[in-house]
Amino acid sequence: MILIVRAALFLAGLLFVILGGTFLLDPVGQGTDFGLTANGNRGLSTIRADFAAYFWIAGGTLILGAWRRDRTLLLVAAALMAITCVVRGLSLAFDGFYEGWSMPMAVEAFVVIIALFGSRALPQSASVQDQGETL
């Protein structure tokens, strides 16, 4: 079971890291896929920087959290995805529904669930336990 959780966390993290890379390399194409249009170089810079950073942090914390069995890193990823999912829900209430709205929310909710589950189910590594005992 632990291997399955770690694999799911790692794969979700890898997906986000790759997605962040696609924003860096192709901000116009990825922006369009996400319903964004860049307004000149400033817009391209914003899409590249903000989305690459968001997805790299989310993916990196999932990968490292699963690898190191670090609960805190998994909670960072869960918080990012939970905030994103809640704000999407608010946007649906404020702005209305749109085609394909459920898929990103389902992915975000899934990541929240596996990250929270992983933060509780994964045994901590020896180095993390030792650090906690010395504090």
**Which candidate, 67, 64, 57, 60, places its Cα nearest to that of 2?**
67
Task: Give the pLDDT score at 37.
Answer: 93
> What whole-number distance in Å separates Cα of residue 82 and Cα of residue 64?
19
> What whole-number distance in Å separates Cα of residue 87 and Cα of residue 92?
9
**pLDDT tens sequence across 53-76:** 999 999 999 999 999 999 999 999
Please report the sign of the dihedral spanned by the C-alpha atoms of residue 69, residue 72, residue 75, residue 77.
negative
How confident is the model over 94-106, as a mean pLDDT?
96
Residue 85's pLDDT band (cuts 50, 70, 90) = very high
pTM: 0.87
Where do the domains of the chain lie?
Answer: 2-128
